Amino acid sequence: MRKPLIAGNWKMNLLYSKVPHYMETLSVELKKANWSKQAVEVLLAAPFPFLGLSRELGEKLGFFVAAQNIHEKADGAYTGEVSIPMLKDLGIQWTLIGHSERRQYFNETDTQVASKSKFALQQGIRPIICIGETRAERESGKTNEVLENQLLPVLEAVQGFDDFVLAYEPVWAIGTGLTASDEQAQDAHAYIRALLAKSNKAWGEKVRILYGGSVKSTNIKGLMSQSDIDGALVGGASLDPLEFSRIVTYGSSH
What positions carry a catalytic annotation?
A: 99, 169
Closer to ligand PGA by CB, 102 or 118: give it. Answer: 102
Which one, 11 or 55, has the nearer CB to ligand PGA? 11
Contact status: 47 vs ligand PGA (CB under 6 A): no
Residue 62 CA to residue 198 CA, distance in Å, equals: 34
**Running DSSP on this structure, what letter comes out for residue 198?**
H
- What's the angle, vertex CA 43, arms to CA 202 and CA 233, rounded to 5? 75
Residues of span 139-198 touching ligand PGA by CB under 6 A:
169, 174-175
Minimum gap (Å) between residue 200 Cβ and ligand PGA: 26
Chain-centroid distance, C-alpha 18: 22
By CB under 6 A, tell whether 236 contacts ligand PGA.
yes
Q: Which of residues 198-227 bind ligand PGA (CB under 6 A)?
A: 212-215
Q: How far is the CB of 233 from ligand PGA (least distance, A)?
A: 4
H-only helix segments in 125-219: 135-139, 143-157, 182-199, 201-206
Q: How far is the CB of 139 from ligand PGA (least distance, A)?
A: 19
Q: Does 231 bind ligand PGA (CB under 6 A)?
A: no
Stretch that binds ligand PGA, among 53-61, 109-117, 217-225, 230-238 (CB under 6 A): 230-238
Residue nearest ligand PGA by beta-carbon distance = 235
d(CA 145, CA 184): 15
Smaller CB separation from ligand PGA, 79 or 105: 105
- Find the DSSP H helices in the chain: 19-32, 51-61, 84-89, 100-105, 110-122, 135-139, 143-157, 182-199, 201-206, 220-224, 241-252
Q: Binding residues for ligand PGA, how many (CB under 6 A)?
A: 13
Between 65 and 234, whose beta carbon lies closer to ligand PGA?
A: 234
Report the distance separating Cα 84 and Cα 175, nearest Å. 28
Asked if 235 touches ligand PGA (CB under 6 A), the answer is yes
Q: Does 95 bind ligand PGA (CB under 6 A)?
A: no
**Bridge partners of residue 165, in order along the sequence:** 128
CA distance 169 to 100: 8
Interacting residue ranges for ligand PGA, rule: CB under 6 A: 9, 169, 174-175, 212-215, 233-237
